[in-house]
Structure 1
Amino acid sequence: MTSTPTAALSEAGVSIWLDDLSRERITSGSLKDLIADRNVVGVTTNPSIFAAALANGESYAAQVQQLADTGAGVDKAVFEITTDDVIQACDVFAPVFESSGGVDGRVSIEVDPRLSRDTQGTVNEAKELFDKVGRSNVLIKIPATVEGLPAITAVLAEGISVNVTLIFSLQRYREVINAFMAGIEQARENGHDLSKIHSVASFFVSRVDSEIDKRLDAAGTDAAKALKGKAGLANARLAYQVYEESFASERWQVLAAAGANAQRPLWASTGVKDPSLPDTLYVTELVASGVVNTMPEKTLEATADHGVVSGDTITGTYAESAALLDELDAAGVDYNDVVEVLETEGLDKFVVSWGELLETVNAALETARKA
């Protein structure tokens, strides 16, 4: 018998990553405890996570003082502080990285969100982050914007592992997989060891429900309201179908034979935002072998406490999921508009968070200079 729900999730083939990082979590031993007690095998970060960590943490005071003493500007300070956290987290996860053959034990750091529409700027910063962290188990996060797609290809071609983030639509996901395969093909041409390159595609879940449910409420009919809380799962399950089909292709088989690793689907935005829905919904209902689920700590603890893991809850659901999207269309919900709005909002939120991060660090630098 499996002892805990998180252990059962792990045994079902789901890699549990924590969607949070702070220096306090590293230095207190909390991160190590989650590896031991909650089957956590990776970490994702984003501008919002770093903004919260810096705003609430005293653990950065010594480094901020040092940076202030050397005359560092705010952008330089943010770069040094965030990469330092990721370096330390990579070292904590090094044993997991080794034991999993490089599949897990991964820590993600995102390029400056202000570069999300700048292909070359994204490529340049991805390389800079990779070089600065200097750890094989880092993943560089690149948003799946139209401008981000060629950047994903270019960064992978350099042999750098990538976490593609902010994916909402099935069509964009197909484009992401194409960009990934193109990058692996170029990496092979560039002489890189394909077995060392890993990637995940972060497909967002709960935000889809939040936006669509708002529109269903506005429609006001009983038929529309009956569809609430179902779109996020249907969309993600159809994404897994895209994954299965794409990585069964002849194009991929050629790369796999050369030692390449498939780009794994990662379920992101898995914290339930509607209190009327089960708080483990986007975990227990998205179980399949070979996926990653990155969870905020609240969702992780809810799963550990009362999550019911009943094996694969994705394969075999494709017809039902496609029918659900058809019903949404019939109810007047424009899928293409939804995913476009979500991508724009997601990028805007990260830019706002980055601005808050810069303000927080700048204030701390000013205080330190006066000390």
Structure 2
Amino acid sequence: MSTPTQQLTEAGVSIWLDDLSRSRIDSGNLAELIESRNVSGVTTNPSIFQAAIGNQNDDSYDAPLAALAADGADVDTAIFELTTTDVRDAADIFRPVYDATGGVDGRVSIEVSPDLAHDTDGTSAEAQKLWQKVDRENALIKIPATKAGLPAITATLAEGISVNVTLIFSLERYGEVIDAYLAGLEQAKTNGHDLSGIHSVASFFVSRVDTEVDKRLSAFETEEAEALKSKAGVANARLAYELFEKRFAEPRAQELISAGGNVQRPLWASTGVKDPALPDTLYVTELVAAGTVNTMPEKTLEATFDHGVVTGDTITTGYEDARLVFAQLADLGIDIADVTQLLEDEGVAKFIASWHDLQKTVAAALAETTR
């Protein structure tokens, strides 16, 4: 009898783990999740590395931190070395998945410094630096979909580097991300790169949309508003998939695909359920369609494996319902454009805060090893 995670895989959804640590790599846990939970990739961010390196119950970073301290490494150098090593080692574990899927899966993402979120040139430079340091073709460099990030996405792809575009909240911005991706492939082709080796995902954040919209709905204190709660996130993602289908069927994209290019797959991020009253697999089972990625925190992965009910495609049949949700929200005066801009601003700020927390954690650890 197949498991829910196997059923998701068969429905065309790639399951990626939204977590990484050296102990997860060294213990064999990551390899085990590939075998038992159908995990086919990993995403990381500053919050994940801060939690891993700052974990008092995990001594796997003690020796490398001591070696870095002995070499006189500063904080940012230490972070760079620790995180790129983890991503490289994880990429090696996923290499068989990468080979078996023709480069589609078996991917491990690492993010440019959030301090560069509004710095196009700085983002482009660090993306190349990370790509060269990790030195694995199944890595993905994460770049946020800020206004400054968009040209950096194009420039990075133009160098033949695979990209995970993160922090996408609005359909309008997603359209701009697709434009940036197609422009990147066009430039890569001009630069002589093999388009078939360049891959990308567009990470659309889901649960945070519900958190903000539901907060605004609560202010109405009406049955109509209550009935709309916890629907905006899924509706937004479904309409994103509709846009994905439309844009990659257009002549510009088809010309690149004919030249060996890949589609930029939609990735559902922020899929952990925040509201305990909701099903804990909501943002998994309601967002099933071929050619998508769902990156899950381990709690959501285990819930899905244990009791997720996979009923096939739950996206393409829901476009009209999604439009109705947005129309009803607009009728109440809820400005989705305002919601998504706020979420982008907050998302960047949260990652910057986590990055600074990571710097403090590593600084303290370096200091401790030199006492």
Q: TM-score range by the shorter chain?
A: over 0.9
Aligned to 2:341: 340
Deviations 1:296-336 (CA, angstroms, capped at 9, x unpaired): 00000000000000000001211110111010111121101
Aligned to 1:42: 41
Q: CA deviation at 1:218?
A: 1.2
Alpha-carbon distance between aligned partners in 2 of 1:101 and 1:18, rounded to the nearest angstrom: 20
What letter is aligned with 2:321? Answer: E
Aligned to 1:352: 353
Alpha-carbon distance between aligned partners in 2 of 1:150 and 1:213, rounded to the nearest angstrom: 33
Deviations 1:11-44 (CA, angstroms, capped at 9, x unpaired): 0000000000000000011000000000000000
Alpha-carbon distance between aligned partners in 2 of 1:316 and 1:25, rounded to the nearest angstrom: 38
Q: Aligned with 2:2: secondary structure?
A: coil
> 1:68-87 maps to which residues of 2 (within 5 A)?
68-87=69-88
> 1:143-222 maps to which residues of 2 (within 5 A)?
143-222=144-223
Q: Tell me the TM-score normalized by structure 1.
A: 0.99
Alpha-carbon distance between aligned partners in 2 of 1:34 and 1:269, rounded to the nearest angstrom: 20
What letter is aligned with 2:54? Answer: A
Alpha-carbon distance between aligned partners in 2 of 1:289 and 1:236, rounded to the nearest angstrom: 14
User: Is 2:31 aligned against 1:32?
Assistant: yes
Aligned-residue RMSD, C-alpha: 0.6
Alpha-carbon distance between aligned partners in 2 of 1:191 and 1:252, rounded to the nearest angstrom: 18
Alpha-carbon distance between aligned partners in 2 of 1:50 and 1:362, rounded to the nearest angstrom: 14
Specify every segment of 5 or more residues in structure 2 that has no aligned partner in the other structure, as ranges: none
Q: Aligned with 1:272: secondary structure?
A: coil
Q: Aligned with 1:219: secondary structure?
A: coil
Alpha-carbon distance between aligned partners in 1 of 2:327 and 2:90, rounded to the nearest angstrom: 43
Report % sequence identity.
Answer: 66
Alpha-carbon distance between aligned partners in 2 of 1:68 and 1:317, rounded to the nearest angstrom: 54
Q: Tell me the TM-score normalized by structure 2.
A: 0.99
Alpha-carbon distance between aligned partners in 2 of 1:3 and 1:167, rounded to the nearest angstrom: 33
What letter is aligned with 1:14? Answer: V
Q: Aligned with 1:289: secondary structure?
A: coil
> 1:76-155 maps to which residues of 2 (within 5 A)?
76-155=77-156
When structure 1 is superposed on structure 2, of 157-166 and 222-231 the one drifting more is 222-231
Aligned to 2:17: 18
Q: CA deviation at 1:220?
A: 1.6
What letter is aligned with 1:353? Answer: S
Aligned to 2:256: 255
Alpha-carbon distance between aligned partners in 2 of 1:193 and 1:66, rounded to the nearest angstrom: 39
Alpha-carbon distance between aligned partners in 2 of 1:3 and 1:318, rounded to the nearest angstrom: 29
Alpha-carbon distance between aligned partners in 1 of 2:292 and 2:173, rounded to the nearest angstrom: 18
User: Is 2:286 aligned against 1:301?
Assistant: no
Aligned to 2:270: 269
Alpha-carbon distance between aligned partners in 2 of 1:342 and 1:244, rounded to the nearest angstrom: 25
Q: Aligned with 1:80: secondary structure?
A: helix
